[in-house]
Structure 1
């Protein structure tokens, strides 16, 4: 292949990025800039020019990205040549090219790599067990209790802390040495710290010092357990490889002679350990190219450090920077909004604006609503309109800062028959165990022909002893008795009559059946507005419009009041009698207040969308029966559902593009995890970059929404608009929507209901 062929169809900047050689280079590429194409062609050029394809290494952050890159390279030059280059993640390269060939090296053995062969513990279940056991063994009872003063779930916190700490390349010993430099650190050796069994009492130290010491003790036992099992974990792969390269010159020289050209993707997400690993491999970096965009650096919680990219010119004095400013993805109006946000970023390697190439009359939109339910309902209306205009459902994305913010949307999407799926590792509303239990309870009551509800019920309450085999046998016998349709209430009665449950639980099952029958019998009078009117001796259906209006004006509030009262009754029965039926009276009493508060919160989440329905659409039984009764197979994991609209956190959206994007929950109260984050701090800057990532996912339709109130811990609180919205200035249209009425505003200050907020 003539290398010049690689330049066909590329812009001048892209050509510069492909052709540069002889010194370290950074290729900065914003959203939609064609970065992947440039990276692919640089790899192909390196394969041809090097004369040794196996000396070319391309490193990216995920296995999926590495597989995609390999496919692109093979498509350009064929798999026979393309597959000879090393295209992998940091961890894969470290494991297969450094640790495995050098296993048994004295330095690795000194770090704890004592097995005869490289064995990596990948099982999260096994590692979680080791971490929990390490905390039980490494800390005394008084120390564990003290740790619980700082964290609700110490084991989870330790897992996150350990991963973050090792992202800096620490081992227990080097981390102890780091702590020892802190004022008032009380231990002179790691052995002294490890032998301490008393609760720590330290003076003039930050509370984090307590957790750091306790976690270090736990870490020592964790590493010891892995050593006994003659295995290492995923993080240790990179830490041990990096340390081996830094400490052992012979190993380092051998690897440099073998691997000569490095292409590193997503460099803005590099952590300190990966950075040190890379520097040890590339030396003067003359054959190193780094691709990234500091404006999209959003993973500091994993240890990523965007300053490594921002200051890379200090590491390599002869560094050449090539910026790719063109945005081929989004319309020029979306690009303008992105540029407005980028201008406010403090940490930048280049300050050049993106250049949009797609024309459109559609302006990005900031919308204010009175509450979260109006916000969700309006978004669903907009989605339905977009679908009607020809936008494919899978080209519509709803993004949010935290998983919980997406849960209210689910009810409105379900109620309007809009199919959706959650992307990433976050759980949907109806996947939450507490919500799933409530839905099972409601389906038992209001969906009497759902066999799945009965199966889920007995799977949740194993105390009854009704296994799948017993239930299937009962169903077969029940049907053979002349019951063509299986009514759950009758089936539960049959199970009781035949003494199929454990004798000790028969009274409990009888009480459940009474609850179900009681609640089910109460429903018919308020199932719809018409049924409520009939119960009130008022004729509503098929009456003249004027008469119906009069009835609606008079009975609408009492009807919704009756529905809310009934839902409250359902909630009380669930919390007081159903949820903890197998707990002792003392235990139940102890849990009751917490149980009630949680039940109120969860019932509100489930029913909020119901209260927003019009009288003509209101149907309580239908609403309940359309709440999904999920088993353990999550719909979002099924590939056949890729035609649904997608809900995801902003972090999960990185790398995606959608015709229409809704960034919801854009209020100060909903966005920030920690209160009072000051402008200009690293935390503020990262959240600003996250906001930028969200908006640059949009191709044409970009919507930011927020509500002026939200329900938080069962209380209504006022909300202020997110500070970042003020940075958009004249690149968006501003509007307020209240009860279906829309009012346009000229800027964010006039839209805001709180004029006193500081918008710096």
Structure 2
């Protein structure tokens, strides 16, 4: 540990953050009774159960504003955890309007991953990392796993590297290190478990050597940091007085551990969630954390938000009925709306999937003819493969559409290449980045040359860049070993470029350097020629144009105000850590930011939203958090929803029903639910029919007068 001055805590509040607002009660204006109760509650632990469309974001923002204005809590003493960077940005912007711009730089409003990254940057040496560590995005993680598997002679066709990488991440999210995982493996374990064991052990070692962390490592390493360092943990306890967590039903095991560690004995924790919208169990989310919160935190006040500000009552009646069949709910909530009764939900019983796609497309065309913008319409489906028929019909009708969940901006090859060059410049030990671009564009550095270099690095237990330096020193010493001299001659073209780039970036702005880097490396010319060869040079989003958009993204990053980062500095003295922060490499900061955002929030154009007037196509999972005036829930049928794989597990079946509930509650004005009696799959036509969820829904209203739905048979097929 450094001297205790590092841990001195200044509990004073900045004047601009503490100005008393005599009109602080204006924060409560327009809130309903339940929202008012949540926002103005006394300082204590709280669980807010917020139904779909009940204004939870407004409640969260208003609560933070209330803490600042009414309880005089400084923004820097508040941590707000969101599940997307977009949500965090929106929260800060709304708060700025309510309490002033000071909140933008001092409030910690970030995702779990971003918060953990900030802590690890501040305490890298205590977390077993070298300052300047880089983050492996999903593509880089899979590439590294694939490289290791090939080195270990593991068949990458029999065992997919992406599956092994995913399993490693899953273990980390459960707090299980490689050694602990190995102890669980026996001779009777399945082959994929044994393979994961072998790869995980080496993967962990190589990540440490390359000074890199993957997404799951950010969380696990921070949890271990807080568990193993009492002084650092207690500093955070003194710092964060109020902690608020959004989308709490989606937290996993390691995130819950982090929350318990970051909350001190005098902190208050407010969590907002809806157990009826917990749909990510397949990736580790544990809806049970909501019950654990009531058990593990003292004197928890519960508030239910059930007044819906999104949908008509007919849509809400359908949603309430569907979810009502789940028996594992934390509490029963019946959503009530304030937009009137609305039209009945239309159930389209279609002869087959071709009829379904044609019918939905015709309804969309009719809506547009009546004055509805395409952007206000969405087609939601359980699985991505279901989109094909709709894509073809929309194209046939010349209806514009956007598919969410496709390749994202930072997943494109040209962008990944550019980022790999940046990564090796900030972290010379990042062999995964170097191997991606050492011969891109081609420098005639073939596999044999790379293998020779890797052999030297392995023998000397060093990174590839350091191995090149050893070769350089060997050749410059006058040694005439022809093999080594030949190897260095072939590799030197890349090494000279590497040195030149390092020199260039010392005296240039980040955006200017990035632009020069793309020229010096040849990436601009390389992708311009590829576009021309493939006939894509005139496309708006050609690969060359995407590189230009990357430069624009960097300029936006440069223009953004820096966030206050004082996780380790609570006094005004100039400590070593503080001086380091002031000179932190902007390229490293940029890489950290875009790597976290590239987890899936940027579309193919590098933006965060769809501004084009186009129909939105996406999975029900991807639709969570979104809303559209007109929604078509398609493929609502047997063996699709619920999935055939989930039909025999009560837990999985409950999550599938929650998924259906999420889909229904995306609709604001009108909802269409369609299914096919016969669906063509793998070249064969198979009888399907209505989902069991739909049958339950129809039976529930059979014989009743006030029915929120109507069934329309297309091509004369009966519902049953």
- When normalised by structure 1's length, the TM-score is 0.63
Q: Which residue of 2 aligns with 1:657?
A: 627
Aligned-partner Cα distance in 2 for 1:158–1:59: 29
Q: What SS does structure 2 have at the residue aligned with 1:59?
A: strand
Q: Is 1:695 aligned to residue 716 of structure 2? A: no
Alignment of structure 1 residues 559-708 onto 2, 5 Å: 642-675=612-645, 677-678=647-648, 681-708=650-677
Please give the secondary structure, in 2, of the residue aligned with 1:671. Answer: coil
Query: 1:169 and 2:166 equivalent?
Result: no
Task: Quote how far apart the aligned CAs of 1:394 are.
Answer: 0.8
Q: Could you tell me how far 1:263 is from its partner in structure 2?
A: 0.8
**Whole-angstrom distance in 1 between the partners of 2:149 and 2:161:** 8
Q: Does residue 1:60 correspond to 2:82, yes or no?
A: yes
The runs of at least 4 aligned residues of structure 1 exceeding 4 Å deviation read: 467-473, 633-641
CA apart distance, 1:636: 10
Please list the CA deviations of residues 290-338 of structure 1 after superposition, one character each: whole Å capped at 9, or x if unmatched: 0111111111122111111133211124111100110011001111111
- Equivalent-residue separation in structure 1 for 2:121 and 2:303 (angstroms): 36
* In structure 2, C-alpha distance between the alignment counterparts of 1:336 and 1:159, rounded to whole Å: 42
Structure 1 residues 245 and 725: alpha-carbon distance in aligned structure 2, compared to 1, 3 A threshold: same
Runs of at least 5 residues in structure 2 that lack an aligned partner in the other structure? 1-20, 413-526, 536-602, 702-706
Distance 1:735 1:426, change over 3 A: farther
Residue 121 of structure 2: which of 100, 111, 117 is its match? Answer: 100
Matches within 5 A, 1:256-335: 256-284=237-265, 287-335=268-316
Q: 1:76 aligns with which of 98, 103, 108?
A: 98
Match of 1:155 in 2: 161
Aligned partners of 1:23 and 1:285 also within 8 Å? no
Q: Does 1:710 align with 2:679?
A: yes
Deviation of 1:53 (Å): 2.1
Q: Distance in 2 between matches of 1:323 and 1:102?
A: 39
Structure-2 residue corresponding to 1:751: 719
Q: 1:407 deviation in Å?
A: 1.1
Equivalence map 1:495-534=2 (5 Å): none
Change (3 A) 1:211 1:176: same
**8 A contact 2:243–2:267 mirrored in 1:** no
Larger Rg: 1
Say if 1:421 and 1:635, in contact at 8 Å, map to a contact too.
no
Question: TM-score of the superposition, structure 2-length normalised?
Answer: 0.66
8 A Cα contact 1:661 1:698, kept in partner? yes
For residues 673 and 611 of structure 2, the distance between their equivalents in structure 1, rounded to whole angstroms, comes to 26
Residues 93-492 of structure 1: matches in 2 within 5 Å?
A: 93-96=115-118, 98-105=119-126, 108-109=127-128, 113=129, 115=130, 117-137=131-151, 139=152, 141=153, 144-145=154-155, 151=159, 154-177=160-183, 179=184, 185-186=186-187, 202=188, 207=190, 210-284=191-265, 287-425=268-406
Aligned to 1:219, the other structure's residue is in SS state helix
Summarize deviations over 1:268-302 as a string: whole Å, max 9, x none.
10010000000011145751100111111111122
Q: Partners in 1 of 2:142 and 2:173 — Cα distance? A: 19
CA deviation string 1:43-86 (max 9, x = no partner): 11222324432111111111111111111111111212453221
Structure 1 position 31 matched with structure 2 position 31: no
Q: Does 1:85 align with 2:107?
A: yes
Partner secondary structure for residue 640 of structure 2: helix
Check the 8 A contact 2:347/2:711 in 1, yes or no. yes
Structure 2 CA distance for partners of 1:751 and 1:73, relative to 1, 3 Å? same
**Relative to structure 1, is the Cα distance of residues 653 and 375 closer, same or farther in structure 2, using a 3 angstrom cutoff?**
same
Structure 1 unaligned blocks of 5 or more: 187-201, 432-466, 476-632, 744-749, 753-760
In the alignment, the residues of structure 1 paired with residue 296 and residue 83 of structure 2 have an alpha-carbon distance, to the nearest angstrom, of 22
CA contact (8 A) 1:399 1:653 kept: yes
Which of these residues, 12, 25, 29, is aligned with residue 4 of structure 1? 25
CA contact (8 A) 2:136 2:212 kept: no
1:737 to 704, 713, 718: 713
Q: Distance in 1 between matches of 2:172 and 2:216?
A: 7
User: Structure 1's 471 and 73: CA in aligned 2 closer, same or farther, altered over 3 A?
Assistant: closer
Aligned-pair Cα RMSD in Å: 2.8
Q: Partners of 2:395 and 2:271 in 1: how far apart?
A: 44
